[in-house]
Amino acid sequence: MNKKIAIIIPTIHRDELLIRTLRSIFKVREPSWQILVIDQNKQEDDSEEKLYYYQQPPNHLTVIRTDY
């Protein structure tokens, strides 16, 4: 039976910490996971650009943006 791992990361105004966290997670190389980032930063910040790299295959990263 293939088990899947879900990692949910809520964040607000912590871009650098989020990037360090993602780098650590992607070092593990677990093929059956999904990472969901709930990004509550304002739209005018540069978090979208910083996260773009991590959303590319083979990474299983989904980013949901919300304005608080």
Query: Cβ–Cβ contacts within 10 Å for residue 14, how many?
Result: 16
Query: What is the distance between the alpha carbons of residues 51 and 24, in angstroms, rounded to a whole number?
Result: 14
User: Structurally, how many domains does the chain consist of?
Assistant: 1
Query: What is the distance between the alpha carbons of residues 15 and 18, in angstroms, rounded to a whole number?
Result: 5
Residue numbers of the domain that contains 52: 5-65
Q: What is the pLDDT of residue 8?
A: 93
- Strand-pair partners of 18: none
Cα separations in angstroms, 18 against 2, 3, 10, 13: 28, 25, 9, 9
Per-residue pLDDT 10s for the chain (68 aa) are 567 788 999 988 888 888 899 888 888 776 677 889 888 876 555 666 777 777 666 667 888 887 76
> pTM for the full model?
0.71
